[in-house]
């Protein structure tokens, strides 16, 4: 029996596949089996996999008769023979010590159901450089290294968002009949898997090490498709057909709230007018309002940013679209002759940067209240301490949901006119 079976689902990722598979082949933990499940690639992906399998007999290439990420992973689970199961998406890659670290953590605490680490999100910056950003499940050092029951940790419902940064004991997965949904395509099918594993697991251990490298800017990925709400609806609608109670039910609504917020970042007249979109939007608001009324979703269980945005979204799509257009007016309007300052260097700041670049906006600077960032550069743009920038045509985009009100007040106190302040949703 191998220590870890690594499942690698693929479909038309020839640009990434060799680097991805070789990152698994090169693991310092050699006792692996590598299951490459291809769903009928026509761009040379399958041929690359075949070549790699001839080079390393641990690589097994399996054809899937369905183009479904969930089906492909489930097929890998059925074929796996390792003590633990890991999953690597084939446009990503992993550090050479990932599985040795995770399996070592498992061995140190008596082989729990789940072992998980952090990850690095990466993308190609505007200046052509690859940027890596570490993301961990918790900022509290005491969270790591101890055996816990995931269902007893409310924060995991909103922070444990990806299945591929960990390993799962195969006997636990198979013994509980846990599988991914098998909808067509590769879209959000890990939502159900994550909820089911966290609800069923009796033991888990987490490490602060970030060993998985997640590509966030690949064209064609489900998270960049514009169809996110529909994908999320399919997953949560399926989960709601199952029986959940107590902490597992509360965690389901926390996960649902975050997913709803994350899927409602951009709007358009066409999207708001779409009957299918409105139906799914209404389904989410009905479920979440009902959960709040019944005490199954408390505000204290949501992060400040998610809580604020959810309060807006529950007003319905028409009111939300009106608010969206006003808040984002400086990102949606004409950019000629204007200069922009983005207040916030986190994910929302990078989202604002991307939107402005798409509209050929002139970005003067980033700003942030974190003094450690002052004087550095992000996406080739200087990061400044909060200040008023010279020029009459400067617009300030607040890219921090949790602290928008405080930042707006801060800018007003500095002398920025209220009409020159906007938000990036």
Mean pLDDT, rounded, for 286-314: 93
Q: So what's the pLDDT on residue 86?
A: 98
Q: How many CB atoms lie within 10 A of CB 143?
A: 18
Q: Count CB neighbours of 147 within 10 A.
A: 14
CB-count exposure of residue 141 (10 Å: 0-12, 13-18, 19+): exposed
pLDDT confidence of 226, banded at 50, 70, 90? Answer: low
- Per-residue pLDDT at 222 exceeds 90: no
Asked whether the predicted pLDDT for residue 413 surpasses 80, the reply is: yes
Are 363 and 342 in contact by the 8 Å Cβ rule? The answer is yes
The C-alpha atoms of residue 184 and residue 203 are separated, in whole angstroms, by 32
Average pLDDT over residues 199-206: 98
- CATH architecture for residues 328-423: 3-Layer(aba) Sandwich (3.40)
What is the average per-residue pLDDT within 208-226?
A: 76
Q: How confident is the model at residue 221 (pLDDT cuts 50, 70, 90)?
A: low
| Strands 204-215, 421-423: pairing kind | unpaired
- Give the pLDDT band (50/70/90) at residue 227: confident
Q: Where are the beta strands (DSSP E) in 125-234?
A: 130-135, 166-169, 204-215
Q: Contact, 90 vs 77, CB < 8 A?
A: no
Residue 184 pLDDT: 79
Average pLDDT over residues 353-379: 93
Task: Report the alpha-carbon distance of residue 154 to residue 151 in Å, rounded.
Answer: 7
DSSP 315-342: T-HHHHHHHHHHHTHHHHS--TT-EEEE
Residue range 347-352: mean pLDDT, rounded: 90
Q: Report the SS3 class of residue 374.
A: coil
Mean pLDDT of the chain: 93
Note the pLDDT tens digit of each residue in 164-180. 999 999 999 999 999 99
Looking at the domain 4-224, which fold is it? Spore Coat Polysaccharide Biosynthesis Protein SpsA; Chain A (3.90.550)
With beta carbons less than 8 A apart as the criterion, state whether 321 and 276 touch.
Answer: no
Which pLDDT does position 383 carry in this prediction?
Answer: 97
Q: What is the pLDDT of residue 186?
A: 67
pLDDT tens digits, one per residue of 369-395: 999 999 999 988 999 999 999 877 999
Which pLDDT score, from 0 to 100, does residue 424 have?
93
User: What is the reported pTM?
Assistant: 0.90
Q: Which band of pLDDT confidence, cut at 50, 70 and 90, is reported for residue 183? A: confident
Q: Using 50, 70 and 90 to split pLDDT, how confident is the model at 321?
A: very high
Residue 220 is predicted with a pLDDT of 55
Please report, for residues 33, 100, 196, the alpha-carbon distance to residue 70 in angstroms, rounded to integers and kept in the order given.
20, 26, 14
Average pLDDT over residues 274-284: 97
Q: What percent of the chain has pLDDT over 90?
A: 81
């Amino acid at each position: 029996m191998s220590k870890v079976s690594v499942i690698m689902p693929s479909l038309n990722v020839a640009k990434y596949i060799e680097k991805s598979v070789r990152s698994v082949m090169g693991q310092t933990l050699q006792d692996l089996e590598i299951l490459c499940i291809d769903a009928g690639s026509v761009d040379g992906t399958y041929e690359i996999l075949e070549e790699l399998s001839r080079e390393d007999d641990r690589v097994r290439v399996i054809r899937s008769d369905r183009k479904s990420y969930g089906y492909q992973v489930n097929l890998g689970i059925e074929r796996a023979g390792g003590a633990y199961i890991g999953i690597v998406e084939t446009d990503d890659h992993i550090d050479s010590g990932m599985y040795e670290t995770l399996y070592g953590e498992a061995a140190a605490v008596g082989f729990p159901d789940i072992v998980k680490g952090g990850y690095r999100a990466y993308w190609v910056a505007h200046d052509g450089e690859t940027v890596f950003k570490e993301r961990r499940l918790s900022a509290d050092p005491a969270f790591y290294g101890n055996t816990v029951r995931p269902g007893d940790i409310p924060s995991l419902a909103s922070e444990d968002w990806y299945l591929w940064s960990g390993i799962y004991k195969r006997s636990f997965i198979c013994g509980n009949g846990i599988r991914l949904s098998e909808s067509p395509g590769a879209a959000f099918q890990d939502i159900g898997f994550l909820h089911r594993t966290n609800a069923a697991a009796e033991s888990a251990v987490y490490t602060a090490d970030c060993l998985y490298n997640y590509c966030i800017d690949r064209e064609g990925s489900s998270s960049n498709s514009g169809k996110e709400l529909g994908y999320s609806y399919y997953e949560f609608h399926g989960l709601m057909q199952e029986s959940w109670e107590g902490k597992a039910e509360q965690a389901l609504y926390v996960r649902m709230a975050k997913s709803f917020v994350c899927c409602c970042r951009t709007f358009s007249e066409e999207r708001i007018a779409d009957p299918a979109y409105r139906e799914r939007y209404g389904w989410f608001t009905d479920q979440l309002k009902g959960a709040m009324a019944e005490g199954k979703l408390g505000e204290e269980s949501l992060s400040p940013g998610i809580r604020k945005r959810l309060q807006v979204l529950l007003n319905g799509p028409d009111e939300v679209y009106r608010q969206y257009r006003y808040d984002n007016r400086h990102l949606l309007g004409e950019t000629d002759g204007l200069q922009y300052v983005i207040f916030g260097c986190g994910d929302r700041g990078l989202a604002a940067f991307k939107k402005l670049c798409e509209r050929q906006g002139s970005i003067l600077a980033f700003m942030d209240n974190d003094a450690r960032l002052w004087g550095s550069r992000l996406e080739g743009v200087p990061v400044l301490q909060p200040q008023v920038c010279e020029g009459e045509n400067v617009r300030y985009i607040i890219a921090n949901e949790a602290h928008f009100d405080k930042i707006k007040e801060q800018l007003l106190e500095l002398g920025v006119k209220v009409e020159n302040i906007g938000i990036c949703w």
